[in-house]
Amino acid sequence: MVEELSGRDSTKNEMVISVISVFFVIMSIICFCLKTHPDLRIPDIDIDIRNTSTHVLFVTKTTTRAHPAFFYIEFVSNIWFTVELFIRFLFCPKISKFVQQPINIIDLIATLSFYIDWALDQAVTGANRDTVEFISIIRILRLFKLTQHSSGLKILIQTFKASAQELLLLVFFVLLGIVIFAALVYYAERVETNPGNQFHSIPVGLWWAIITMCTIGFGDMVPKTYLGMLVGSVCALMGVLTIALPVPVIVSNFAMFYSHAQARSKLPKKRRRILQPYEIKPMFGRLATAPFFNSLTNENTSSIQSSQVLGALTATAPLLICPSANDFTADLKSSLNHHSISSKTNTSNDNKND
């Protein structure tokens, strides 16, 4: 039951449950977006009765609220999420393991936000209802549940995790460049006579600097002096260079995870037991991995397909950590041997056809 509700597609029943879960996630997100459309909202009218000589009723349109149909759709969706979360918690072997999974925490918070929003909506009226609806933004986090049902998203997330150091370095250099160029353009625009100066302070220049470094350029703020234009040109060039530096590392990590996922998908389902693509954890140490991969290549030199797969897996030369090194070695060798057998079978079939 736990595996069925975790998105591991191995049987038809699990596939059906995964499809239903994805359907309700998508429906919940669609309702969250559509209920903010002005044409799909109804007016929330307040009637103000005042004691006057003419007994006039003052009707004031203060705000709008979502159509009731969206509530019923979200109610059905959250019933499914509640049952799913309860069963997953009930059959979890350890509570600590359940709490440590971010998807479970996100699902719990998103589900509770619906019931809290429902309770507050009954108690709050008028303009304060817009503030209460802000709580529903938490439900958009359910998009992360789609990672349970897509190996591609898992590979992408693990790629960012493996490249965390490079991404932090990128953020540091971008922040450094933003502050420097915001200060430079602020003083550059004040050196010459500039009646239409838009850079009134350095904090305002921070917005211009980040937009320029990312090469977006909205055009709402532009330097008008020659010195300011020079600063803007250098800022754009430095932004391109800074953002492009960590890209090869990220692409290399993605290629490693993707290659392992492709090699693992070629194995029979009974052999896919040790290492998931998202369980690969790169570590430092290029030299430490050389003997391990050399031993593998010596045993699989007879197949071009095997060397190609192994070369893709060792493109970045990280150490692949799994629950057991021997199990991982056997699993990887099985994958390579499977590629070798598949290659020979395809070659023999082609020869027979010829």
| Per-residue pLDDT reduced to its tens digit, 25-72 | 999 999 989 988 888 888 776 555 555 555 555 555 557 778 889 989
What is the pLDDT, as a whole number, of residue 271?
Answer: 56
Residue 219, phi-psi category: left (phi > 0), alpha (psi -120 to 50), beta (remainder): left
Write the pLDDT tens digit of every residue in 119-131.
887 776 655 666 6
pLDDT of 244 higher than 80: yes
Query: What is the DSSP secondary structure assignment for residue 16, as one 8-state letter?
Result: H
What are residue 51's phi and psi, to 5 degrees?
Answer: -85, 95
Query: Using one digit for the tens of pLDDT, what is the confidence trace for 7-23?
Result: 444 577 778 888 898 89
Tokens of 90: 């009930």
Mean pLDDT computed over 308-326 = 41
Burial class (CB in 10 A: 0-12, 13-18, 19+), 314: buried
At residue 304, the pLDDT reads 40
| pLDDT per position as a tens digit, 76-124 | 999 999 999 998 888 888 888 888 888 888 888 888 888 888 888 777 6
What does 291-349 look like in DSSP terms, one character per residue? HHHHHHHHHSTT-HHHHHHHHHHTSS-PPPP-S-HHHHHHHHHHHHHHHHHHHHHHHHH
**Residue 202, pLDDT above cutoff 90:** yes
Q: Would the pLDDT of 3 be above 50?
A: no
Place of tokens 């995870």: 257
Task: State the alpha helices, DSSP H only, in the chain.
Answer: 12-34, 68-90, 95-100, 102-123, 128-133, 151-162, 164-191, 202-213, 226-244, 247-265, 286-299, 304-313, 325-353
Of residues 353 and 150, the one with the higher pLDDT is: 150
Hey, what domains does the chain have and what are their CATH numbers? 4-149 (1.20.120.350), 164-244 (1.10.287.70), 248-353 (no CATH)
The pTM assigned to this predicted structure is 0.60
The two three-digit tokens of residue 260, written as one number: 């392992």
- Please give the average per-residue pLDDT across 274-295, as a whole number: 46
Residue with tokens 């790629």: 159
Packing angle, helices 202-213 and 226-244, rounded to 10:
50
Give the Cα-Cα-Cα angle 239, 240, 244 (nearest 5 degrees): 115
Percent of the chain scored above 70 by pLDDT? 64
State the CB neighbour count (10 A cutoff) for residue 316: 19
